């Protein structure tokens, strides 16, 4: 898609500091990193969300994310990493991408970036769990 920033990066039409290129995906440094070494991993083909990603691409994408996680930690001498993706909400570019961010204790990144809300009780929790189980059925 010509109007997609990440499709242009994959095609080489948009400059990027590439760190990895594989058959199904490309990884490059985020231009607005949380910390140096913040990498974005994208599928070569345009898919907006994880739900849109064809099943046969899930394993290669996440195996590569795992490799990148190890590499980012080693290259940045970081003891940990934050690996995440947004789907539609807070997704700045509508092309599936996995963030791999090096982490250190007391680095200033505070877990999740939104407030947590507890369930009102075990009944609400079970209702939510039952709804998800129902949605998982074919």
Q: Which residue has the tokens 């809300």?
A: 117
Is residue 39 within 8 Å of 19, Cβ to Cβ?
A: yes
Cα 40 versus chain centre, distance: 7
Residue 97 catalytic?
yes
3-class DSSP state of 61: helix
Burial of 60 from C-beta contacts in 10 A (0-12 / 13-18 / 19+): middle
Residue 18 backbone dihedrals phi, psi, to 5 degrees: -70, 140
**Whole-angstrom distance, CA of residue 126 vs CA of residue 12:** 48
Catalytic residue among 38, 95, 97, 99: 97
Is residue 97 within 8 Å of 6, Cβ to Cβ?
A: yes
List active site positions: 97
């Amino acid at each position: 898609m010509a109007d997609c920033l990440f499709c242009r990066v994959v095609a080489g039409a948009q400059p990027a500091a590439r760190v990895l290129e594989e058959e199904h995906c490309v990884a490059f440094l985020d231009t607005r990193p949380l910390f140096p070494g913040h990498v974005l991993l994208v599928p070569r083909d345009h898919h907006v969300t994880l739900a849109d990603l064809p099943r046969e691409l899930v394993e290669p994408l996440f195996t590569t994310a795992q490799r990148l996680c190890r590499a980012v930690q080693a290259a940045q001498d970081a003891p940990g990493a934050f690996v995440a993706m947004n789907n539609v909400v807070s997704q700045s570019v509508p092309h599936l991408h996995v963030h791999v961010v090096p982490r250190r204790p007391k680095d200033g990144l505070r877990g999740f970036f939104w407030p947590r809300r507890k369930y009102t009780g075990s009944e609400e929790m079970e209702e939510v769990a039952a709804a998800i189980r129902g949605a998982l059925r074919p």
